[in-house]
Structure 1
């Protein structure tokens, strides 16, 4: 039941505009209304935020801290209104005064705190933790600049600064009184005390202040408000130390001033240089040092317990390897600042820290040069080195069968510190994020670690918050679902399975189909506004939206488009259901081949979209600057969800879950969570193709396959590659030589050609299925019905009961 009537909310808007912005309603801009509504929501949730903190403190509850370098939270106004129970009345009030709610909400800039699936997963998890009334908080960095704003000029990706904080961010609260000092560099002095124990002191370190900015995480209509704490790097206020230093330190001080600004300056600085690598390492240590010191300060303030009991009240979940320095930093604080001995500190650390692995890609399993950690974090390196020595000795004496494997298990090897190894050795839980991914970790990538710690490894298949990705982004579909099965699914997403009863109900199927058509019309309007291209909303909307990476195989998708174009050019009367291929993706600034694929998509689009002989049967759309808000527009309109990564490479995927939940059908490899989707919906409600994970891994083990054999035997493939090689889709002949040579002369490392034929076959099946409207609608409803399994509520319940014990 709404707290406000429509009229009361209008009056509240008027009052706030007058008092906060000093303007009348008729003079208020959309931005004025955005800030005023945010202020109303903040007033609504602040008492609940304080009550939640007080409840955790008085109950002496065990709390979870989710450490992540990314939190891709998107815009918060609409979701906070929804979770506070004010969205409907706010929308009604805005329409009453002649304003479009969507235009108001668009004034919020997407927070530049994340890049892709890792960060969006973290955001979904925080939503579920709060909505399930669990004591858990996020901890990240308050980057001033996000990844980048993407612009496409003549097909080329151009990166512009994403200064998302240039205007006031209404959701954050600065907590200067809880700032924490973080130290870099300097030297470590060791002293032997009278009792024989060692004492360490630090000299000439560079100090950085970590200032917390707290963002509320609002549970769904349950009065719970948890916290996302974002740390900002600032210079210490007291400069007197510097003024007393010799003048030779002046330039060092200037360098340090500049480096402090950089720490929370950019999300993922370019690490192709030494300076870029060092900055990333600084960011990672800055995050874990500030967070862990804050956790320990809070523990000492709230609990009358010794630090040897820290694990009774605290769990730290590290999201991927980026926060792995939490292991040695917690050891350092417990020993050097709190007086515990090594055995006590190690016992606490390995009961507090849990690690989520997100990848099997070797380039994503972080390694840092020994010299870099020694220079930047000398005491931390000493601790890592000691952990490594004890770990390797333990294997030598306790597991003689693994002695030959010590070099590949060691935390320090080949002059590199292996962060995944550090995280595994220093934690009590190691989880993968989909069933296949966890099996690959256990049986292949981390097989020897699994031999050492079989009880430590577990699976937690990823999930998405259905409140944002269905209830918020697709209100018409949500309404149709509620009318059919009741509202219980909003708090119990597994209730969506009741939709199976309606999979043959013609009125319901037609209603779902009507919702999809309306969503496609909305997206078609957006496409026309952004690109000038008119698309047919009756066509199949075939969607691939994700980070641009070779293993995700946007290249296979655009090869399929070229194949269809070639078919239509040879036979313009070909009976082909019209297709609209929709791409959105950012490529890392230094990732040349990924940027070449973006350019290829644009060049193909510039030819296909304006060739009258294909008679509008094919359209290719690339929507620039992919982010959460754009995804919220695309996903409800998708007919086909492209999940075509090279098998074994995608740990889980969550875009597959979002589109499934909105009624799209998946075409995909047996990779990541696609396997679990297939197991639920059955072979008849998904389009699976291509090599399996074990086949891919066997090819890698045995030197791959010969890509040229397919080039020489498949006329379709040869024609596509020759078109690239001879400049048919480029401004000049050598435009896409790099793609051509990577496929044929680097032997197609991601099996694009090997999977080409089965991929084409799958799309033939898709077209045939789409022509049978009722059958397609039934498949769509079946996917929605089973999607409740992929709510992050289910995932978080598993973390809470099996890992965190909260």
Structure 2
């Protein structure tokens, strides 16, 4: 097996040689030159506003040559693909020019490693960033269709699940817009986490087969294919110079094939790419088994190998799922580092300069196996010394942490890890041995510190602590908000901070204003542009100029009209997706959309909904504003509490929406299958943004930024980036409730108030809890939601729902009062947008580039 592996590796290296030529060419879903490529100036001339006929002709050409259809008889699906190919070719034209320039300048490159890239629809992004809305509108009109219809034909790329992946997508947009030489690396999943339906109030998961008809945005790079090893054993020996060496032998091989998806910068010539790896079998067919009639065995190896890139986040509540996740992580890391090495080797012989040419950012701990993998390549393949290899690793890697909860820090069983990656386990042990010697020297006699900082967690099942590995092997460790970083250094990673204080830093998350205002809320973007120009799209601080219009009655009226238009559009979506449910666009749209998790406290929101319901029933004369409460989000398939919360939301919605006593006053909607494209319709329609996690649990959040940038007011705790949003927009323009992170920690220790005391002392709280416990939302079944009631009443509730409920209810009362004064509300909405400049991902990426990656941004 080792000889076969070396032969394949040699073949792969030979196939990818090419001096300093750019990485162009390769297999695509279709590559016939379009007529526009023959025009002087290439694609530059195609995208000038007076070339409508040329653009129309190119789209028709792609319908015929790529789709094999008569352009005069093509439908929207064919036109969507033809338009995508047209724009993709333009991006490739720009990308090739950029790659030539990069090689000529020998610039340092950034490699952003992430298990998720939640990019949404590529057509929408390409049109906006290329500045093609108007010419495309005219060209498509002559073809009998329009851009919005074609955009709806595209499936969301199911390459991520939540904030981690959406942040990565925003970062790539900013990297491209700012002209930073970089690549995103991940996995090309055939299936997303799942497609969510709601049946009888319950979440039902079905496969999310987003690639079932292929994607016109992907280039298959079959000439970039690398062997990835698993299993086997380690052969150790002493070389001719008396040095200890190892070889990883008798391994199983899976091939990693590169697939590229291009990411354009905003109105510039800079295009970067996501390189996503697809698993391929090292051999397609076992001919001996086939000829013997064992047809299943003949393809078994192929099926097992290619399972690696099938599904995003296989369930980890069984050993097989855990093993597959580990295989996924190593698979994409191993392929990525071979690609990095290939690119570095084109112009470099020695490795002392590697950190000056290469920066690798680890997006959470999922890619942390890259540290021992780079060590393996430097030690075993390149023959470097341990000291040089480790110095190169630490200077090359940087680690972004995304969690404050110890139980969420990734660990792997030593036995599982060792069976799959035996050489890497040896390297991790050696890293740990040397590191603990350093700890013992710095803190003599402190055994507890040694145990806590060790890469190996001792216990009944010995585990590898991947966060500890990422910290030890990186020169930079950053949190994603000021509060998050403070809590990391004071609590979660305090020992490491005390040892390496210079490595820790804060990089508050951001969002791209192109996708999350210019694209998703075009009417509002147009209004803003009329008043202050469009420079804010690349310099979000320029939104400050909007403050001058906050008291202008005419401007406020236009602002409200746009908000209502967005609410009407969302109301139509709710009617279509929620069994004909009709909601009032004039009601307060109160929205919480995010992954369903106990710490995000959707349950707290439901408690307020029940209180509102009880109030309106008891007080039909109430003057409180009508409210539509909207939820969306997915619960992990194995997360039973989260799925029960989804059922409670839908059960409460069912009772309220059928009750004529609250008709016109209160409606509740759970919109299924939340994703990027749905978020682009929901967020512009929000009046109120629910960001209500228990203080000290949310690392940052980016949904809070998207809502505020689109004019929603935030109700939230002082958690994550909410703290900085309040600092920017002003305490009078945000609704803050509940305990601080410090108070939460103190309360967990001393338990000054217990849930039972709050329940007994506050009749409103008691009525809410009793309604759930006594079956008011479960047809009299008192057992269905009993686990949630028990959680609420437990003095060990880690999320402290009842302890924050009273403050939350009071704050919601204030929301209702202020919403009743539409001028006051609109002014706060305008000021929220005007003061969101800090939360651009452009600012975040500039800080990463200049303070972590060592790259100067022009």
Whether the TM-score (by the shorter chain) exceeds 0.5 is yes
Alignment pair present for 1:346 and 2:390:
yes
Deviation at 1:27, TM superposition (A): 2.2
The match for 1:666 is 714
Coordinate RMSD, CA, aligned? 1.9
The match for 1:757 is 806
After the TM superposition, which residues 20-35 of structure 1 pair with which residues of structure 2 at under 5 Å, given as runs?
Answer: 20-35=66-81
The match for 1:293 is 338
Alignment pair present for 1:382 and 2:426:
yes
Distance 1:413 1:43 in 2: 51
1:80 to 117, 122, 126: 126
Verify the 8 A CA contact 1:705 1:747 in the aligned structure 2.
no
Distance 2:95 2:257 in 1: 20
Partner secondary structure for residue 178 of structure 1: strand
Deviation at 1:686, TM superposition (A): 0.3
After the TM superposition, which residues 75-114 of structure 1 pair with which residues of structure 2 at under 5 Å, given as runs?
Answer: 75-114=121-160
Distance 2:320 2:752 in 1: 36
Per mean C-alpha deviation after superposition, the further-off stretch among 96-105 and 113-122 is 96-105
Per mean C-alpha deviation after superposition, the further-off stretch among 685-694 and 525-534 is 525-534
Deviation at 1:7, TM superposition (A): 4.4
Verify the 8 A CA contact 1:78 1:87 in the aligned structure 2.
no
Partner secondary structure for residue 368 of structure 1: strand
Alignment pair present for 1:160 and 2:209:
no
After the TM superposition, which residues 198-597 of structure 1 pair with which residues of structure 2 at under 5 Å, given as runs?
Answer: 198-237=244-283, 256-301=301-346, 303-400=347-444, 402-414=446-458, 415-531=462-578, 532-597=580-645
Partner secondary structure for residue 353 of structure 2: helix
Alignment pair present for 1:653 and 2:701:
yes
Verify the 8 A CA contact 1:206 1:256 in the aligned structure 2.
no
Partner secondary structure for residue 231 of structure 1: strand
Partner secondary structure for residue 175 of structure 1: strand
1:734 to 783, 800, 804: 783
Deviation at 1:14, TM superposition (A): 3.3
Distance 1:359 1:567 in 2: 38
The match for 1:770 is 819
Deviation readout 1:208-241 (Å, 9 max, x if unpaired)? 101000110111111111110000111114878x
Deviation at 1:174, TM superposition (A): 1.0
Distance 1:515 1:220 in 2: 25
Verify the 8 A CA contact 1:217 1:225 in the aligned structure 2.
yes
- TM-score (structure 1 length as normaliser): 0.97
Deviation at 1:81, TM superposition (A): 1.3
Distance 2:708 2:695 in 1: 19
1:16 to 62, 65, 68: 62
Verify the 8 A CA contact 2:218 2:260 in the aligned structure 1.
yes
Distance 1:243 1:20 in 2: 38
Partner secondary structure for residue 179 of structure 1: strand
Per mean C-alpha deviation after superposition, the further-off stretch among 655-664 and 510-519 is 510-519
After the TM superposition, which residues 680-719 of structure 1 pair with which residues of structure 2 at under 5 Å, given as runs?
Answer: 680-702=728-750, 705-719=753-767
Deviation readout 1:628-681 (Å, 9 max, x if unpaired)? 000000001000000000000000000000010000000000000000000011
Distance 2:318 2:284 in 1: 32
Verify the 8 A CA contact 1:609 1:616 in the aligned structure 2.
no
Deviation at 1:251, TM superposition (A): 10
The match for 1:62 is 108
Verify the 8 A CA contact 1:541 1:582 in the aligned structure 2.
yes
Partner secondary structure for residue 501 of structure 2: coil
Deviation readout 1:134-172 (Å, 9 max, x if unpaired)? 111100001111000000000000000001110121111
The match for 1:140 is 186
After the TM superposition, which residues 608-647 of structure 1 pair with which residues of structure 2 at under 5 Å, given as runs?
Answer: 608-647=656-695
Deviation readout 1:260-311 (Å, 9 max, x if unpaired)? 122101100000011111111111111111111110111001x234122210
Partner secondary structure for residue 352 of structure 2: helix
Deviation at 1:24, TM superposition (A): 4.3
Distance 1:93 1:46 in 2: 21
Deviation readout 1:38-86 (Å, 9 max, x if unpaired)? 0110121111111111111111110000000000001100111111121
Deviation at 1:365, TM superposition (A): 0.5
Distance 1:544 1:4 in 2: 44
Verify the 8 A CA contact 1:429 1:457 in the aligned structure 2.
yes
Distance 1:170 1:23 in 2: 16
Per mean C-alpha deviation after superposition, the further-off stretch among 80-89 and 341-350 is 80-89
Distance 2:125 2:482 in 1: 30
Per mean C-alpha deviation after superposition, the further-off stretch among 469-478 and 15-24 is 15-24
Partner secondary structure for residue 227 of structure 2: strand
Tell me: CA distance 1:30–1:254, structure 2 relative to 1, closer, same or farther (3 Å): closer
Deviation at 1:458, TM superposition (A): 0.2
Tell me: CA distance 1:523–1:251, structure 2 relative to 1, closer, same or farther (3 Å): closer
Verify the 8 A CA contact 1:707 1:747 in the aligned structure 2.
no
Distance 2:514 2:361 in 1: 23
The match for 2:653 is 605
Tell me: CA distance 1:190–1:15, structure 2 relative to 1, closer, same or farther (3 Å): closer
The match for 1:724 is 772
Distance 1:670 1:466 in 2: 24
